[in-house]
Structure 1
């Protein structure tokens, strides 16, 4: 069964001696522990273990502003919240969307990015389903990323479909190319990459986004000083055009597939029917 955020919350409550550090403790330590998960182009992990990407650039710049070293805590995407709630990390920076389910557990900074999610579907199955409602059937398989927004969207919009979870969007593209799934819930640049796959023709069978999210840094709900520092920095960089520069740099097909397969994975999910 997929690990829910509620289950994460309960598990972390049981860790009575674990809590996120306050900002003064972080400054005394001299390092900011940032939870990240391989999610190109936000976080890209090379085969030699080197990290790069949108969030690596942003957090390195944040560290320079705050006078802190950045220590990355690598986790499966579905375990990012637990890393902060257990005190293993001070914040999350991983293309992490500000969602109602997550706000029950975490505080979010001001946003610095937004993402639109669409369903991409094989042309034949799109014709068979005809409408989005028509895709909600057991003979149509739809891929999603474990622990991420695409999974929330897939389970919310297509609970009657054959839902299949993957640990990365690269894995979803591979499954689409191999015909293992008929479609998937994706965002750019993965949408364009899916439509350019050899073999099966894929299309987006709807005009408007299934959902639009905003991405932000996440902390625990007691880290007020860190939260305030993050907001001030997000505003400062926004006024300087920094976030647009990062998006132009990193959001391309080149970086979408640059990440090596992570050595860890989210547990297999049993979709809610």
Structure 2
């Protein structure tokens, strides 16, 4: 399914000559973790695209966290059509592969955009659970390059609540995420500040609880703009938990252009956004 989603994204982007690409990104990161239990390596990579043609919008995203056997693959694809009255109808699908287990969620959604606000509802089915998946979402464009949003999803009798802030200015960027779901609590913020001469300072701060395992993480590093939109980064950090501390070193390459315009986030988008601000693990 992951290959099908990525192939679909590439084909639509390549064949729609009249389409305006509003957003595109790709990244690859290598993480070295050094703790009391020994050394481990973690690799993360992925990408996303969004384009619009007339009133039609397509978006796709794929990512992988390679933890030496305990791999996590995420992918999503979505289509939307916006009416002249501000109402958008769409269909999206998110796919998850964790080790030998996999599941997918297919949803229909409708949203209404007015002034700087967007409100929406979704309903879907999952290949991994029997219950219907319901969702409510909203977003506020506080500036042309700043968005605050909230998602609430009911999944198999459990509630997933996710809030985010995505803010860009000439000199700095801030991304913050809150994720609450079935014993998992995540609070994270990441950002960068432009020092000039193509160099930026980057960093992240996060606290999380996974079924009673409390931990926090902090990273700080430097980023260099190789070309417009293309960056290389090096960061150092520490993940602290009751079981001990883990030192983290990250090297990454990334490319990003434009800004997302679709305010609808699939469950896959919600999870990849959170991993982007937790210790800089990904770049979504």
TM range (shorter): under 0.3
Richer in strand (by share)? 2
- Greater RCO (Cα-Cα under 8 Å, separation 6 or more): 1
Larger helix percent: 1
TM-score by length of 1: 0.25
